[in-house]
């Protein structure tokens, strides 16, 4: 096979992996399907795999050499979703959000429950010019009474929208954070000689408050931690100002509203990107949080940072990332984990 043909085959495999990851439902607290899907992909590449009490999937690769560290990489595998609060006499289900869900992006959307049941989201009549609130919305699963409604209080659904390959850009309802899950899987598979003991954590319940990574970090007790997550961009018409743009490389987080990345970790990431000639951009995010915070605050404290994948339209059914950024993120993560780390 020519190098060219090999590359195309690898690319197709990666795209298939992205499709599988973004289309598997897994709202916070209901990560069983996505966890199983990830496990399938990493079995054989890790030295040890376990699921902890909270449901975090934790894969170790390598063991700590004299010049190595114990490093925790955290990519949350949960996504936003909905939980049913009430089924009315006509079979319509009211719900509350799991994570940050905007009513504007719900109307007309389709959902899939964890048992495979599908439904659509409708809205009550609104006053003229009024914006919808989540209380005005309901899920219609195509039944006409409470008695024959297959959905009950407490049932959980995710949004349903197929993966879309636009060439340079890729779109899905759960690029946050499945694109980072794929980055972590690819790095785990690629990583060869490393002085470090690397724990790849596919964390749960990030979208409801960085919960899984907090307990995972306690369990792993790392020397250094990195979250891998998406970050918003400022490159769309009339949006809130922000430096980050698609296609300019993965972003190195300096701060978000949940934590300040350890400056030594930031320097390490910049130096590595420069040395390997990987494009990167600096990220200062005004609102938003990542697993970096919970790793940083674990036990007696951990130097922590975050590798971000720039993403447009976060928490909508059409989150968009750049294919080049995604590939560069994998390269950067592998570079970061392959060499000795000296935090200033």
Partner 1 sequence: MSSQKQPSMQLTPEIGAQQVELLARLCNAMAVSGDEQEVRQIVLDEIQPYCDQVEVDGLGNVLAMHVGSQAQKVRVMIAAHMDEVGFMLTNDEGEGVFSFETVGGIDPRQLVGKAVIVGREHVPAVIGAKPIHLTTAEERKKALKVEELRIDLGPEGSSKAKVGDRATFATQLEALEPSIRAKALDNRLGVINLIELLRHAPENIDLLAAFTVQEEVGLRGARVAAYRFDPQIGMAIDATPAHDLPAYDVDVENTRYNTKLDHGPAIYLMDGATISDRRLAEWLMQTAEAEGIPYQIRQPNPGGTDAGAIHRARAGVPSISVSVPVRYAHSAASLIRQEDWANTLKLVYHALTRLTPEILS
Tokens 């899939």 map to which residue? 112
Tokens standing for 92? 């319509």
d(CA 138, CA 94): 5
Tokens standing for 132? 């919808």
The yes or no reply on residue 229 touching Zn ion (CB under 5 A) is yes
Among 62, 109, 219, 310, interactor with partner 1 by CB under 8 A: 219
What is the smallest separation between the CB atom of 64 and partner 1, expressed in angstroms?
A: 19
Q: Give the active site residue among 79, 197, 206, 283.
A: 206
Beta carbon nearer to partner 1, 138 or 326: 138
Is 206 catalytic? The answer is: yes
- Beta-bridge mates of residue 61: 198
Find the binding residues for partner 1 in span 51-110 (CB under 8 A).
52-54, 56, 83-86, 88-89, 94, 96, 98
Q: Pick what 219 binds: partner 1, Zn ion, none; C-beta below 5 to 8 Å, kind-dependent.
A: partner 1
**Total chain residues near Zn ion (CB under 5 A):** 3
Q: In what helix (H) or strand (E) does residue 228 lie, and over which residues does it extend?
A: strand 224-231
Among 150-158, 225-233, 249-257, 318-326, the segment contacting Zn ion (CB under 5 A): 225-233
Pure H helices in the chain: 3-23, 32-42, 103-106, 175-190, 211-220, 263-275, 291-296, 323-338
Spatial CA neighbour of 77 closest among 39, 115, 116, 119: 39
What are the DSSP calls for 271-337, one per residue? Answer: HHHHHTT---EEEE-SS---HHHHHHTSTT---EEEEEEEEESTTSS-EEEEHHHHHHHHHHHHHHH
Among 177, 180, 194, 215, interactor with partner 1 by CB under 8 A: 215
Q: Pick what 304 binds: Zn ion, partner 1, none; C-beta below 5 to 8 Å, kind-dependent.
A: none
Among 103, 169, 218, 267, interactor with partner 1 by CB under 8 A: 218
Tokens standing for 61? 């690769």
Q: Pick what 229 binds: Zn ion, partner 1, none; C-beta below 5 to 8 Å, kind-dependent.
A: Zn ion
The yes or no reply on residue 205 touching partner 1 (CB under 8 A) is yes
Return residues touching partner 1 (CB under 8 A).
Answer: 28-29, 52-54, 56, 83-86, 88-89, 94, 96, 98, 135, 152-154, 205, 208, 211-212, 214-216, 218-219
Residues tagged active-site: 206
Chain contacts with Zn ion (rule: CB under 5 A)? 176-177, 229
């Amino acid at each position: 096979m020519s190098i060219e043909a090999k590359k195309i085959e690898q690319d197709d495999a990666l795209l298939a992996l992205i499709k599988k990851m973004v289309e598997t439902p897994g709202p916070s607290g209901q990560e069983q399907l996505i966890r199983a899907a990830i496990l399938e992909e990493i079995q054989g590449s890790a030295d040890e795999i376990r699921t902890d009490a909270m449901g975090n999937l934790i894969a170790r690769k390598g063991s700590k050499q004299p010049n190595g560290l114990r490093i925790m990489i955290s990519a949350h595998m949960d996504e936003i979703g909905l939980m049913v609060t009430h089924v009315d006499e006509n079979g319509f289900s009211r719900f509350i959000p799991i994570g940050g869900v905007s009513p504007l992006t719900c109307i007309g959307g389709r959902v899939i429950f964890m048992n495979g049941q599908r439904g659509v989201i409708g809205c009550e009549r609104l006053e003229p010019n009024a914006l919808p609130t989540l209380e005005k919305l309901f899920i219609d699963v195509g039944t006409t009474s409470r008695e024959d409604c297959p959905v009950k209080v407490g049932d959980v659904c995710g949004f349903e929208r197929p993966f879309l390959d636009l060439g340079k850009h890729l779109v899905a309802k759960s690029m946050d954070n499945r694109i980072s899950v794929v980055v972590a899987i690819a790095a785990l598979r690629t990583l060869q000689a490393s002085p470090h003991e690397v724990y790849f954590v596919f964390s749960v319940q990030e979208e409801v408050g960085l919960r899984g990574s907090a307990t995972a970090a306690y369990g792993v007790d790392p020397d250094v931690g990195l979250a891998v997550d998406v970050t918003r961009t400022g490159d769309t018409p009339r949006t809130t100002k922000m430096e980050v743009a698609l296609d300019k490389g993965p972003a190195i987080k300096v701060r978000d509203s949940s934590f300040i990345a350890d400056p030594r970790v930031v320097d390490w990431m910049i130096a590595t990107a420069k040395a390997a000639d990987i494009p990167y951009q600096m990220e200062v995010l005004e609102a938003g949080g990542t697993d970096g915070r919970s790793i940083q605050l674990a036990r007696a404290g951990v130097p922590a940072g975050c590798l971000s994948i720039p993403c447009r339209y976060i928490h909508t059914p059409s989150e968009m990332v750049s294919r080049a950024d995604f590939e560069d993120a994998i390269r950067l993560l592998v570079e970061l984990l392959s060499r000795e780390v000296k935090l200033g």
